């Protein structure tokens, strides 16, 4: 049984992430979407909100479980009994950091492998940060994120303006 973890902040989840979840879940027996509790970075959405949204948008994708985590990814992988980490590579700019992380994790936990999927060309430009910036300036983000994310971001922005 191959269980993999796809970790990230998902603040918020985009169509790029969803594409990765769909494609990587078809390669493994179980895919755990690990949602990083990074409150120190003051995310737009709390970890509970991000988990809730991810559960909603992945409910029709088989073999996917959404689980929050904090601390070391290798510890989380051990706890979940997962042997593989999945990450996405968008561009050369992602590469150096991702390579360093993968090698560090492998050093700490030699049983754990990191597998990279290259992003779908259609979404290779897309990041959560860009989505938040476009939304903050009133731009239309419907082509970047699921409808529920669009609604939640709008609610957040309206609240912040009050």
Where in the sequence numbering do the catalytic residues fall?
17, 41, 90, 128
Can residue 43 be called a binding residue for ligand ADP (CB under 6 A)? no
Can residue 127 be called a binding residue for ligand ADP (CB under 6 A)? yes
Can residue 94 be called a binding residue for ligand ADP (CB under 6 A)? yes
Question: Beta partners for 43?
Answer: none
120 burial type by CB count under 10 A (0-12 exposed, 13-18 middle, 19+ buried): middle
**54: nearest Cα among 6, 87, 116, 1:** 6
d(CA 85, CA 78): 11
Q: With b meaning 16 or more CB within 10 Å and e meaning fewer, what string describes 78-93?
A: eebebbbbbbbebeee
**Phi and psi angles of residue 139, each rounded to the nearest 5 degrees, phi first:** -75, 160
Can residue 105 be called a binding residue for ligand ADP (CB under 6 A)? no
Can residue 50 be called a binding residue for ligand ADP (CB under 6 A)? no
Tell me the per-residue interface mask from 141 to 160 with ligand ADP, x by CB under 6 A, - otherwise: --------------------
Can residue 123 be called a binding residue for ligand ADP (CB under 6 A)? yes
Q: Which of 5, 16, 28, 66 binds ligand ADP (CB under 6 A)?
A: 16
Binding range to ligand ADP, per CB under 6 A, among 48-56, 86-94, 107-115, 150-158? 86-94
| Chain positions contacting ligand ADP, by CB under 6 A | 8-10, 14, 16-17, 20, 87-88, 90, 94, 119, 123, 126-128
């Amino acid at each position: 049984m191959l269980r993999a973890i796809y970790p990230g902040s998902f603040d918020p989840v985009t169509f790029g992430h969803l594409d990765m979840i769909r494609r990587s879940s078809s390669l493994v027996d179980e895919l755990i979407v690990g949602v990083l509790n990074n409150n120190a970075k003051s995310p737009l959405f709390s970890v509970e909100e991000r988990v809730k949204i991810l559960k909603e948008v992945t409910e029709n994708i088989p073999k996917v479980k959404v689980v929050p985590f904090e601390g070391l990814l290798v510890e989380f992988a051990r706890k979940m009994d997962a042997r593989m980490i999945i990450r996405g590579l968008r561009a050369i700019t992602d590469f150096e950091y991702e390579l360093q992380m993968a090698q560090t994790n492998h050093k700490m936990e030699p049983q754990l492998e990191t597998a990279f999927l290259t992003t779908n060309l259609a979404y290779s430009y897309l990041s959560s940060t860009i989505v938040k910036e476009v939304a903050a300036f009133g731009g239309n983000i419907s082509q970047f994120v699921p409808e529920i994310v669009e609604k939640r971001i709008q609610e957040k922005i309206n609240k912040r303006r009050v």
